[in-house]
Amino acid sequence: MEIKTIADIDIKLASVSKIKDVDFETLSFGNVFTDHMLVCDYENGVWKKPSIEPYAPFMIDPSAKVFHYGQAIFEGMKAYKDEQDDVWLFRPDQNYERFNKSAVRMAMPEVPEDVFMGGLKQLLEIEKDWVKKGKGSSLYIRPFMIATGKGVVAAPAVFYRFMIILSPAKSYYSGEVKVLIAEHFSRAANGGIGAAKAAGNYSAQFYPTKLANEKGYQQIIWTDDATHTKLEEAGTMNVFFRINDTLYTAPTSERILDGVTRKSLIDLAKRENINVEVRPVLVTELVEAAQNGTLQEIFGAGTAAVVNPIVGFEYQGTYYELPKLDQPVALALKEKLNNIQYKLEEDTFGWTVKI
Amino acid sequence: MEIKTIADIDIKLASVSKIKDVDFETLSFGNVFTDHMLVCDYENGVWKKPSIEPYAPFMIDPSAKVFHYGQAIFEGMKAYKDEQDDVWLFRPDQNYERFNKSAVRMAMPEVPEDVFMGGLKQLLEIEKDWVKKGKGSSLYIRPFMIATGKGVVAAPAVFYRFMIILSPAKSYYSGEVKVLIAEHFSRAANGGIGAAKAAGNYSAQFYPTKLANEKGYQQIIWTDDATHTKLEEAGTMNVFFRINDTLYTAPTSERILDGVTRKSLIDLAKRENINVEVRPVLVTELVEAAQNGTLQEIFGAGTAAVVNPIVGFEYQGTYYELPKLDQPVALALKEKLNNIQYKLEEDTFGWTVKI
């Protein structure tokens, strides 16, 4: 795909860049933002002229519906720099498409392609020095939309704001990740908003995750809310299991996010002749595989972490430790995906898009 | 109960009141706000000194967690004015208690009683002219808390803002309300946040409700997400059914809000010797009662509307019209509850609290 530059945009540059104050080697995820942001307001059925302006707080009414009814969606993407100093995006069309699917589910207006993609392209051109070379370095991209319309009646807003903010990133997770399999809490309802990147899905996880943290687990593997028998997501990521030499992951559904990393890993694994089965995975299967020694790996998959290996899980009070492998499939796939993202290997899928 | 005045508060009054510009007879719900608001910030584990200041937009960072992860909760309450010009609250202790329960579920800090109740008392003393006399008139109170902490890592914020804004109100709903019984969409998961007044619960309903509106229905009666066989809530309200002379409503649960109006109506109905059964109500029971003519009434119950009678429902493509009654129980209970709220009748329950 080719990203067209947006035709009509206001650009107001920051007078001083903050980049000199940033230590790119010690970044924690999502706390430092670049000098500029994209802003585009929607008023009474029309998207106004977007602008790129210095990153800064903005004014909003206390009755804005985003505060009261959580009408807000987002995406997570990354920009990578290759050895020739070119900046690349990874499957941005997938994020754009999903963003507008989320918008529909949350009764919000869809964002036009020239605002989302064209705006992102121009923002990245301005901020290209914030994309650092070298594996592990990237610029995390956060497009989001909030309901700015006023009034506490519980109905969709009339005014919205679409924004893109950028945060330089190293890797997302660190240390050993142990998980708790959810037996009571859950992240999504049948007929709910689990498949949308809706803001409310994420804060709903904070309390159960805090309880898991207190028990010594970094994340929760979410199960279906009706029966708690099917394994669905890990924290804010999709989840894969390797039993013997087969990779398993749940099909996407109303409850499970259609993750870009998830589907890329499936395609990549197939190309590498790894057996992949996309089907519901039962907790009982996982426990049995752990008990009989056929469970090799569990890993989360998402944009921020790419791949997040899990060292063990607790279910019904029993902790199951996974084997320590010399050559885990998770890391091999991450390596291959990173090589495509950083343009170190030929992109036979046509996933990468140059800015 | 007695509400103590808050000891330490900054008060900055508006130079001019907007009250003269407001037509109190033609108010639509939740669009006009009074001259002042209460603001209290939470920083690094401590609630700061609250302030009452002119109602106005405020500055917030684009990366505030409320925008990205929906970490936000609210309450809905009302103030009423009696014939002696005294201002009364209705069971404010229940809202305060539920607010902090919501805070815990959303991994947010609990708000101290002197900030919530003391702050509200002082705000209402300043805004007492906005509470109009006469049945139907009230001042809607919206306490809410948002995560103002910066950063797009999906974890609870460190900074929060608690606010109270006030909106003069007439009645919430008008016209005939027909409802659609949910066969696919749902509002809450088992182990989810349905029992919390969390912002994300409400925007999740907007799209299904929009689809219902397009079919000619004003609201949805939500069913349990796993089986869609149990009747749970109506729109953003609890729901009651009258079959023969018995009132039925679902028990509160993780999926069903513990509504103040709901429990007050149960107590009131019992005092009036109306038979009330709190138990799961099945869709099949409702359809059967509609078919055999024993279904008398369906009504929603909530702070904004108090009681919201429903004239008919659609289920599986069939529309069931309810009888037009001369003396519906819904309106009799609303009348009695209003009489207590407006101090026109003795409050034998001790529900009303003078400001």
Both structure tokens of A238: 């999709």
Closest residue to A165, CB basis, from B63, B190, B200: B63
Fold agreement (A10-170, A177-341): no
- Over pLDDT 70: what percentage of chain A? 99
- Spell out which residues of chain A touch residue B152, defining contact as CB-CB under 8 Å: 29-30, 140, 142, 165, 167
Nearest-angstrom CA–CA distance, B211 and A298: 40
Query: Would you place residue A258 in the very low, low, confident or very high pLDDT band (cuts 50, 70, 90)?
Result: very high
Report the SS3 class of residue A258: coil
From B70, B144, B151, residue closest to A202, measured CB to CB = B70
* pLDDT category of residue A171 using cuts at 50, 70 and 90: confident
Return d(Cα B316, Cα B183) in angstroms, integer: 8
**Chain B residues close to A66, C-beta within 8 Å:** 66-67, 72, 199
Burial environment of residue B136 by CB neighbours within 10 A (0 to 12, 13 to 18, 19 or more):
exposed
Whether residues B203 and A71 touch (CB distance < 8 A) is answered with yes
Q: What distances in angstroms separate CA B118 from CA A63, B96, B157, one per listed residue? A: 22, 11, 25
Q: Residue B67: its chain A contacts at CB < 8 A?
A: 66, 72, 144, 146, 199
Chain B nearest-CA residue for A37 = B62
Residue B107's nearest CA partner among A213, A257, A217, A197 is A213
Scanning chain A, the segments in alpha helix (DSSP H) are: 65-69, 92-105, 113, 119-126, 199-203, 206-214, 260-271, 283-291, 329-341
All residues at 6 or more sequence positions from B289 whose CB lies less than 8 Å from its CB, including other chains: B241, B243, B295
Q: Do A72 and B67 count as a contact with CB atoms less than 8 A apart?
A: yes
The complex scores an ipTM of 0.97
How high is the pLDDT of residue A135? 87
Interface test with A, best of B60, B66, B68 (most A CBs within 10 A): B68
Nearest CA in chain B to A64: B57
With bands split at pLDDT 50, 70 and 90, how would you rate the model's confidence at A174?
low
pLDDT in tens, chain B (355 residues): 778 777 789 999 999 999 999 999 889 899 999 999 999 999 989 999 999 999 999 999 999 999 999 999 999 999 999 999 999 999 999 999 999 999 999 999 999 999 999 999 999 999 999 999 988 899 999 999 999 999 999 999 999 999 999 999 987 655 789 999 999 999 999 999 999 999 999 999 999 999 999 999 999 999 999 999 999 999 999 999 999 999 999 999 999 999 999 999 999 999 999 999 999 999 999 999 999 999 999 999 999 888 999 999 999 999 999 999 999 999 999 999 999 999 999 999 999 999 9
Q: Which residue has the tokens 């809310």?
A: A225
Q: How far apart are the C-alpha atoms of A223 and A286, rounded to whole Å?
A: 12
Q: How many CB pairs under 8 A join A and B?
A: 235
- Spell out which residues of chain A touch residue B58, defining contact as CB-CB under 8 Å: 59-60, 62
pLDDT value at residue B85: 96
- Across the interface, whether the CB atoms of B33 and A71 are under 8 A apart is answered no
Distance, in Å, from the CA atom of B4 to the CA atom of B17, rounded to the nearest integer, reads 26
Tokens 């209970």 identify what position? B333
Largest CA distance in chain B: 63
Tens digit of each residue's pLDDT (9 = 90 or more) over B295-327: 999 999 999 888 999 999 999 999 999 999 999
Burial (CB count within 10 angstroms: exposed 0-12, middle 13-18, buried 19+), residue B312: middle
| DSSP category for residue B284 | H
Minimal Cβ distance to B106: which of A142, A198, A203: A203
Cβ(A44)–Cβ(A155) under 8 Å?
no
Residue A58 half-sphere exposure, CB side, CA atoms within 13 Å? 19
Q: Which residue of A has its CA nearest to B59?
A: A59
The token pair that represents A351 in the structure block: 């996933």
Q: How far is Cα A237 from Cα B86, in angstroms, rounded to an integer?
A: 54
In sequence order, the β-bridge partners of residue B138 are B169
Alpha-carbon distance B329 to A11, whole Å? Answer: 62
**A200–B205: do the CB atoms touch at under 8 Å?**
no
> Would you state the pLDDT for residue B173?
57
B62/A165 Cβ within 8 A: yes
Helix (H) or strand (E) holding A123: helix A119-126
* CB distance B222 to B186 below 8 Å: yes
CB-CB under 8 Å, B191 with A185: yes
Contact residues for B256 (Cβ-Cβ < 8 A; gap 6+): B188, B194, B195, B232, B233, B238, B250
Strands A230-234 and A219-223: antiparallel
Query: DSSP letter string over B1-59?
Result: --PPPPSS-EE---SS-SGGG--TTSPPTT----SEEEEEEEETTEE---EEEE---EE
Which pLDDT score is estimated for A172? Answer: 62
Cβ B70–A72 below 8 Å, yes or no?
A: yes
Of the ranges A153-167, A310-324, B165-179, which one carries the lowest mean pLDDT score?
A: B165-179
| pLDDT for position A173 | 57
Query: How do the domains of chain A map onto residue ranges?
Result: 10-170, 177-341
| Amino acid A198: pLDDT | 97
Whether A117 contacts A3, CB under 8 Å:
yes
pLDDT at A5 over 90: no
For residues A25 and A282, the model is more confident at A282
Q: What value, to the nearest 5°, has the Cα angle with vertex B85 and ends B79 and B87?
A: 25
CATH fold of B177-341 reads: D-amino Acid Aminotransferase; Chain A, domain 2 (3.20.10)
Name the residue among B146, B169, B162 with its Cα closest to residue B38. Answer: B162
Q: What CATH architecture is B10-170? A: 2-Layer Sandwich (3.30)
Residue A199 phi/psi, 5-degree rounding, is: -50, -45
Of B59, B71, B191, the CB nearest to A203: B71
> Hunting for tokens 């306490």 — which residue is that?
B143
Asked if residue A286 lies in contact with residue A312, where contact means CB atoms within 8 angstroms, the answer is no
Torsion sign over Cα B185, B191, B192, B197: positive
- Residue B175 is predicted with a pLDDT of 73
Decide if B62 and A58 are in contact by the 8 Å CB cutoff. Answer: yes
Q: What is the CA radius of gyration of chain B?
A: 21
